[in-house]
């Protein structure tokens, strides 16, 4: 709003919308229609709608609210209306800390509008509003990142479908909801990308961060091309795609970084959120031109990324923060990026390794009691933060790191564990639980997924907000194997009920020999109703 005000366009914009001209607002584009927001109390909104935008309560859930949730236009308790292609049975991608709460008071104030809501914990919030007469729609979620369901909404708006023709009752069952209201469990496919010995940019995957083959000439493992694999995982139902650039591009100006091209091409084909990590820090061109971490981020965002993931730089920033007696400078990469793009744009990737001890008194660091004892029977471990892709251990534990980066404004933690990485033995649940207890922001479990039950454990036993995996997907086991919904404490495989209902057929297909499976892939993708 401040930016709009400084350009003097607020009266023009307000006049345009009030005149009933076509308008679509996304995310803050919905929030700006209201009178104001607690996020910036001194800056008024457009005031087209009464009411205030408020922050989600973090008493019982992680904030920001990140992931797939509903936006259902309700006719009655059980009936949903389909307006602008929005379906009560579909899920849409949200990422925000502030929202328009849905209450009897603001319902009365929104008489001219159809209101679609979602639920996060015990809070009901406005997910979308559509004017009853004018061609105007605003969504709190991101239709451009909501896969097929979101593209349907964009199409309905752009092709100006009259409301009447889209207003039909949808006889689909209610979606299965998690304990967090309508929010689903996110499954994220991760692509570690680096240049191989021939200089090509490839997707690779290590075992405990070692990405070279164990035999022969010990080449960097080449698992395929980044854009093609990202598209494949999107089509197979990944909720998000994360690229980790695990190589540094030397002698390359920022504007020519190969990952920018990868992101641009991916964003043209993949309509779920894209995170990019690796090298988010101050960058120097070969000619000596310096770019801040914020400049680097801006380049990535302009190329199609939605979030950046910061590793080494976050560790150094927290060490300095602790040395200063926990005072913030406002100058770290986390703080500058969060201030410019919002907390939800900043993920901190943690690369810890276990240091085993016999007793918590053996170290000044925070320890965790571990169920798998260390090599000498140790019952405890502290989790040491590392930098430079795990090559250098620091005198900082994970708890210090995550609390520090949360104070700086990080919106999410990507929690790897070097000991589990590539093992297929399951996530480090003790570590995940410990980090969940330490912070109020969402935590993505990572490292060690080898089968579907591991995802279930991360969500149910680890209380993770999302689960990321790499190797299990690269082995072509099909991402839909990892996606599941929980009903009555049961683990159901598949992307949605429609897939669950066809599970026997799907499992049969998965067991086909590789070449037949590939031949059938197109037909399968066409027949799957993703959301
Ligand atoms: O320090 O800001 O430049 O970021 C570097 C980023 O690159 C960090 O996020 C770091 O985790 C990552 N990275 C650096 N070296 C490696 C490596 O493997 N040699 N990859 C690396 C880390 C770990 C996970 C992996 C999960 C799941 N990859 O992201 O994808 O452990 O694996 P699994 O499901 O197969 O077990 P900076």
**Higher-confidence residue: 175 or 389?**
389
102-111, 376-385, 412-421, 449-458: least confident range: 102-111
Write the residue with the smallest CA distance to atom 8 of ligand 1.
311
Tell me which residue of 525, 486, 492 sits closest to 509, measured CA to CA.
525
pLDDT number for residue 197: 82
pLDDT number for residue 76: 55
Tell me the residue ranges of DSSP E strands in 185-315. Answer: 186-195, 201-204, 240-245, 274-277, 283-284, 290-291, 307-310
Q: Answer yes or no: is the C-beta of 188 below 6 A from any ligand 1 atom.
A: no
pLDDT in tens, 454-470: 998 999 999 999 999 99
Ligand 1 nearest atom to the CA of residue 387, by list position: 1
- Active site annotation includes 419: no
**Location of structure tokens 């209101």:** 115
Other CB atoms within 10 Å distance of the CB of residue 378 = 17
User: How many whole angstroms from 273 Cα to the centroid of ligand 1?
Assistant: 18
Name residue 241's beta-bridge partners: 189, 274
Residue 38 has pLDDT above 60, yes or no: yes
Pocket test for ligand 1, best of 351, 388, 452, 482 (most atoms within 8 A of CB): 351
Say if CB 329 and CB 289 are below 8 A apart.
no
pLDDT in tens, 103-162: 877 777 788 899 999 999 999 999 999 999 999 999 999 999 999 899 999 999 998 654
Tell me which residue of 270, 252, 272, 253 sits closest to 262, measured CA to CA.
270
Residues 6+ away with beta carbon under 8 Å from 261: 303
Tell me which residue of 177, 191, 186, 115 sits closest to 145, measured CA to CA.
186
Pocket test for ligand 1, best of 223, 389, 398, 475 (most atoms within 8 A of CB): 389
pLDDT number for residue 80: 60
pLDDT in tens, 291-335: 999 999 999 999 999 999 999 999 999 999 999 999 999 999 999
Q: Answer yes or no: is the C-beta of 246 below 6 A from any ligand 1 atom.
A: yes
- Active site annotation includes 285: no
Q: Answer yes or no: is the C-beta of 457 below 6 A from any ligand 1 atom.
A: no
Q: Answer yes or no: is the C-beta of 421 below 6 A from any ligand 1 atom.
A: yes
To the question of pTM greater than 0.75 for the whole model, the response is: yes
Q: How many CA atoms lie within 13 A of 506 on its CB side?
A: 21
Ligand 1 nearest atom to the CA of residue 448, by list position: 36
Catalytic residue among 96, 142, 291, 454: 142
105-109, 314-318, 371-375, 382-386: least confident range: 105-109
Q: Answer yes or no: is the C-beta of 25 below 6 A from any ligand 1 atom.
A: no
Q: Dihedral angle at the C-alpha atoms of 506, 507, 509, 515, nearest 10 degrees?
A: 130
pLDDT number for residue 198: 83
Average pLDDT over residues 269-273: 96
Residue 24 has pLDDT above 70, yes or no: yes
Six token digits for residue 424: 């297929």
Residue 230 has pLDDT above 80, yes or no: yes
pLDDT in tens, 244-257: 999 866 678 898 89
Provide the percentage of residues in the chain whose pLDDT is more than 90. Answer: 67
pLDDT in tens, 169-224: 322 223 334 556 789 889 999 999 998 888 889 999 989 998 888 888 888 889 99
pLDDT number for residue 483: 52
Name residue 49's beta-bridge partners: 34
- Active site annotation includes 287: no
pLDDT number for residue 109: 76
User: How many whole angstroms from 149 Cα to the centroid of ligand 1?
Assistant: 31
Q: Answer yes or no: is the C-beta of 446 below 6 A from any ligand 1 atom.
A: yes
pLDDT number for residue 525: 43
User: How many whole angstroms from 231 Cα to the centroid of ligand 1?
Assistant: 20
Tell me the residue ranges of DSSP E strands in 33-183. Answer: 34-37, 49-55, 65-69, 72-74, 80-81, 92-96, 98-99, 113-120, 123-131, 136-139
The long-range contacts involving 219-225, CB below 8 angstroms and separated by at least 24 positions, are 220/194, 220/196, 222/196, 223/474, 224/474, 225/201
3-state secondary structure 420-481: CCCCCCCCCHHHHHHHHHHCCCCEEECCCCCCHHHHHHHHHCCCCCEEEECHHHHCCCCHHH
Q: Answer yes or no: is the C-beta of 422 below 6 A from any ligand 1 atom.
A: yes
Q: Where are the alpha helices (DSSP H) in 104-203?
A: 104-109, 147-158, 163-166
Q: Answer yes or no: is the C-beta of 353 below 6 A from any ligand 1 atom.
A: no
pLDDT number for residue 293: 97
Whole-angstrom distance, CA of residue 479 vs CA of residue 228: 15
Name residue 490's beta-bridge partners: 487
Average pLDDT over residues 19-41: 95
Say if CB 224 and CB 202 are below 8 A apart.
yes
pLDDT in tens, 63-108: 999 999 999 887 655 556 778 999 888 999 999 999 999 987 777 7
Whole-angstrom distance, CA of residue 471 vs CA of residue 469: 6
Q: Answer yes or no: is the C-beta of 351 below 6 A from any ligand 1 atom.
A: yes
Q: Answer yes or no: is the C-beta of 280 below 6 A from any ligand 1 atom.
A: yes
User: How many whole angstroms from 13 Cα to the centroid of ligand 1?
Assistant: 44
Catalytic residue among 114, 123, 190, 192: 192
Residue 530 has pLDDT above 50, yes or no: no
- Active site annotation includes 351: yes
CA triplet 138, 139, 144: central angle to 5 degrees? Answer: 115
């Amino acid at each position: 709003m401040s930016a709009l005000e400084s350009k003097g366009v607020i009266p023009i914009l307000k006049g345009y919308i009030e005149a009933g001209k076509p308008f679509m607002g996304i995310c803050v584009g919905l929030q700006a229609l209201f009178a104001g927001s607690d996020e910036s109390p001194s800056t008024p909104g457009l005031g087209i709608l009464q009411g205030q935008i408020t922050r989600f309560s973090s008493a019982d859930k992680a904030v920001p609210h990140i992931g797939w949730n509903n936006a259902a236009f309700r006719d009655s308790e059980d009936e949903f209306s389909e307006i602008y292609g929005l379906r009560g049975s579909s899920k849409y991608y949200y990422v925000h800390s502030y929202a328009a709460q849905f209450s009897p008071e603001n319902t009365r104030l929104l008489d001219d509008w159809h209101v679609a809501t979602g639920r996060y914990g015990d809070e009901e919030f406005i997910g979308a509003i559509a004017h009853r007469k004018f061609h105007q729609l605003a969504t709190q979620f991101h239709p451009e990142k909501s896969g097929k369901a979101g593209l349907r909404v964009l199409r309905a708006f752009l092709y100006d479908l009259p409301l009447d023709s889209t207003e039909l009752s949808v006889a689909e069952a209610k979606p299965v909801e998690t304990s967090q209201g309508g929010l689903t469990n996110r499954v994220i496919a991760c692509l570690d990308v680096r240049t191989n010995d021939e200089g090509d940019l490839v997707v690779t995957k290590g075992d405990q961060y070692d990405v070279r083959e164990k035999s022969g000439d010990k080449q960097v493992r080449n698992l395929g091309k980044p854009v093609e694999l990202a598209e494949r995982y999107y089509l197979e139902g990944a909720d998000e795609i994360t690229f980790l650039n695990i190589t540094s591009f030397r002698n390359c100006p920022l504007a020519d970084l190969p990952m920018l091209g990868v992101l641009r091409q991916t964003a043209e084909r993949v309509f779920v959120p894209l995170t990019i990590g690796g090298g988010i820090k101050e960058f120097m061109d070969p000619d000596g031109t310096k770019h801040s971490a914020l400049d680097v981020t801006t380049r990535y965002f302009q190329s199609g990324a939605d979030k950046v993931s910061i590793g080494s730089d976050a560790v150094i920033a927290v060490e300095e923060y602790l040395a200063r007696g926990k005072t913030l400078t406002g100058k770290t990469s986390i703080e500058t990026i969060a201030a410019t793009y919002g907390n939800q744009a900043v993920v901190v990737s943690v690369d810890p390794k276990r240091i085993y001890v016999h007793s918590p008194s053996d170290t000044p660091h925070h320890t965790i009691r571990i169920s798998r004892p260390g090599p000498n029977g140790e019952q405890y471990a502290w989790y040491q933060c590392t930098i430079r892709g795990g090559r250098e251990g620091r005198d900082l534990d994970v708890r210090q790191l995550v609390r520090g980066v949360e104070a700086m404004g990080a919106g999410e933690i990507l929690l790897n564990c070097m000991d589990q990485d590539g093992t297929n033995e399951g996530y480090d649940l003790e570590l995940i639980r410990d980090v969940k207890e330490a912070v109020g922001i969402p935590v993505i479990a990572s490292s060690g997924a080898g089968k579907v039950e591991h995802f279930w454990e991360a969500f149910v036993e680890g209380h993770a907000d999302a689960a990321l995996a790499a190797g299990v997907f690269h082995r072509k086991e099909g991402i839909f194997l990892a996606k599941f919904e929980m009903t009555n404490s049961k683990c159901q495989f598949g992307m949605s009920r429609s897939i669950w209902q066809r599970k026997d057929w799907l499992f049969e297909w998965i067991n086909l020999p590789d070449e037949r499976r590939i031949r059938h892939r197109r037909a399968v993708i066409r027949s799957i109703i993703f959301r």
